[in-house]
Amino acid sequence: MSTDRRTFLTASAAGLALTAGPAQLLPHAVAASAQAKEPPRPNRIAVSTYSYWQFRNKELRSIETCIDLAADQGFDGVEILHRQMERETNDYLQRLKRRAFLLGLDLCGFSTHQTFLSPNKETRQKNIDHTIRCIELAYALGIPTMRVNTGTWGTSKNFNELMKNKGIEPPLKGYKDEDAYPWVIDGLGACLKAAERCGVTMGLENHWGLGRTAKGVLRIVDAVKSPWLQVTLDTGNFLENIYEQLEALAPRACLVQAKTYYGGGIWYSLDLDYDRIVGILRKAGYRGYISLEFEGNENPKTGVPRSLQALRTAFR
């Protein structure tokens, strides 16, 4: 094939992908649509501070301790769980940022919680305000992407019951899931100006509620239609048709959270085929961070390094 013809075909493929607009495809997916090839370097591997704390290991709650462990164990970056933070003062945020920098780590993700599944307008506004506040915290930390949720109906007795029911719960009496889509779309839409101002891409995670399926996630992201709302793709939160659903979301992913379950899962275990997952992400042209969420019963001080080794091997 001549150089001119090859250039023309590559440019044409890229042009077709770009017609979808920035809300449809991320740059990595546009590049992949033009020409599929091996990435120039492996994906960088981060660890969520949740992997150490898991809401139950009190001695591992300190974000500073988690950053130190991540550096000692050989990670490239750290994703901070907002609920794990002990305070939000600026001096604390800047100390975390400085600590990570001096240890050669990126602060690459900020994982937050919110819920828009409420018929109460004041409740939804409180969650909008909370989300905007979290965007500003991410900006202060120098973090470029933030996990967001649709939230849940809150009709489960607790999270253990929600997991026992595979993330399925009934809506509030008198309502149905269909009623909640506009609430979520409007709620996240109200956060876009703050996200753009701070340069923080929100990533809607496949994380129960209306985000339990790829179809639900994409319905919301497509409706908001902004480059500042994309997808945080969690490998362990689809319990049916796992790989088909991962493939549906991969072109929109701005961060990938990778689950492992050494010692057996806290709530459940999935036998995830990471070679297959790597193939899905490479096909989509994903070149961003892989953030480990260790959700096993093994001691995190051993289970997390084992997980890193497995991910390094898969994403080699």
Print the SS3 string covering 238-254. Answer: CCCCHHHHHHHHHHHEE
| Residue 25 maps to a domain | no
Reference 242, options 204, 280, 210, 209; nearest CA is 280
The string of pLDDT tens digits covering residues 177-196 is 999 999 999 999 999 999 99
> Lowest mean pLDDT: which of 91-105, 128-142, 163-177, 288-302?
163-177
Selected residue with higher pLDDT from 12 and 305: 305
Predicted confidence band of residue 41 (pLDDT cuts 50, 70, 90): confident
| Residue 141 maps to a domain | yes
Does the pLDDT value for residue 28 go beyond 80?
no
| Residue 18 maps to a domain | no
What residues make up the domain containing 252?
38-314
Reference 185, options 109, 112, 117, 110; nearest CA is 117
Predicted confidence band of residue 14 (pLDDT cuts 50, 70, 90): very low
| Residue 30 maps to a domain | no
The string of pLDDT tens digits covering residues 187-235 is 999 999 999 999 999 999 999 999 999 999 999 999 999 999 999 999 9
Domain containing residue 69: CATH number: 3.20.20.150
Across the chain, mean pLDDT equals: 91
pTM of the model: 0.88
* Two tokens, residue 124: 């939804």
Residue 290, beta-bridge partner list: 45, 256
